Amino acid sequence: MEYRFTPRGVCSREMIIELEGDTIKNVRILGGCAGNTVGVSRLIAGMKIDEAIKRLKGIPCGFKTTSCPDQLAIALEEAKKSMNK
């Protein structure tokens, strides 16, 4: 399943998530800090959705209350909900 998400309050413009069941197959983040977004994407490839959400949710970026990892956790929560419909 492919899920597309438009993040809010961060530099990245779009997150494209590929899932196989409850496992993250691949993540592409368009925009944002390339080194960080590519690094996060590679680190969570092969990880279970719930584990990635647990690790990424709530991470701030500087003085912002959200970050690309936090927005990715929100995207994964939404993708999970859409799978269960």
What single DSSP character describes residue 77? H
Residue pLDDT, tens place only, 13-64: 999 999 999 999 999 999 999 899 999 999 999 999 999 999 999 999 999 9
Q: For residue 82, count CB atoms less than 10 angstroms from its CB and return exposed for 0-12, middle for 13-18, buried for 19 or more.
A: exposed
pLDDT of residue 22: 95
pLDDT of residue 44: 97
Which three-class secondary structure state does DSSP give residue 30?
Answer: strand
pLDDT of residue 84: 79
Lookup: tokens for 40: 């996060």
Q: CATH class for domain 2-83?
A: alpha beta
Indicate the pairing of strand 12-20 with strand 23-31: antiparallel
pLDDT of residue 40: 96
List the chain domain ranges: 2-83
pTM listed for this prediction: 0.95
pLDDT of residue 23: 98
What is the separation of C-alpha 44 from the centre of its chain, rounded to a whole number of angstroms?
9
